[in-house]
Amino acid sequence: MPEIKLEIKVFGEAVLRKKAKPVNRVTAEHRQILSLMAQTMYQGEGIGLAAPQVGISEQLIVVDIGEGLYKLINPKIVKRQGWQAMNEGCLSVPGVSIKVKRAKQVLVQARDENNDLVKIQADGLFACVLQHEIDHLRGKLIVDYASLLEKLRIKRKLAEVKKRIK
């Protein structure tokens, strides 16, 4: 696999707000995109990445919280339990962190890169990241969870991020 780095789309770019399309049939191209997404995530020192963040509006995510890489297609939360709030960052909103309240445990159903159906029971940080990445597939970003005060606090940062758009 060549060392190709995909370009990360940042806050203000339209693709981040679009609903990603479900994948009908997993192809070699999807597998290649997932591998490139994983490389890009590791290079950015992220723990999750969704396809819209690299400009691809399809339902693909990669997650690795240090316990192994997950490449998921059409991921869906089928069960939620409890609550937790964590400070979250996002490769598409550099320099910004927002406290986000999410389910403490989730059951996620998805396809893996062999098109097999998988079910993942996640808790804590892993559950948090899965929910964050699935949010991306619906065009949702951490800034949408910001309180009024937080919105004021990050306003200038967001303006700086937007300036990076070519």
Q: Report the nearest approach of Zn ion to the CB of residue 107 (Å).
A: 21
Closer CB to Zn ion, 51 or 90, in the complex: 90
Q: Report the nearest approach of Zn ion to the CB of residue 130 (Å).
A: 12
The owner of tokens 């995109």 is: 33
Which residue minimizes CB distance to Zn ion?
90
Closer CB to Zn ion, 31 or 140, in the complex: 140
Closer CB to Zn ion, 6 or 90, in the complex: 90
The owner of tokens 């191209």 is: 29
Distance CA 74, CA 103 (A): 19
Distance CA 123, CA 110 (A): 17
**Catalytic site includes residue 58:** no
**Residue tagged active-site, from 13, 58, 88, 133:** 133
Tokens of 78: 């089928």
Query: Is residue 26 within 8 Å of 71, Cβ to Cβ?
Result: no
Distance CA 119, CA 26 (A): 17
Q: Which residues bind Zn ion (CB under 5 A)?
A: 90
Q: Report the nearest approach of Zn ion to the CB of residue 95 (Å).
A: 13
Q: Name the residues annotated as catalytic.
A: 133
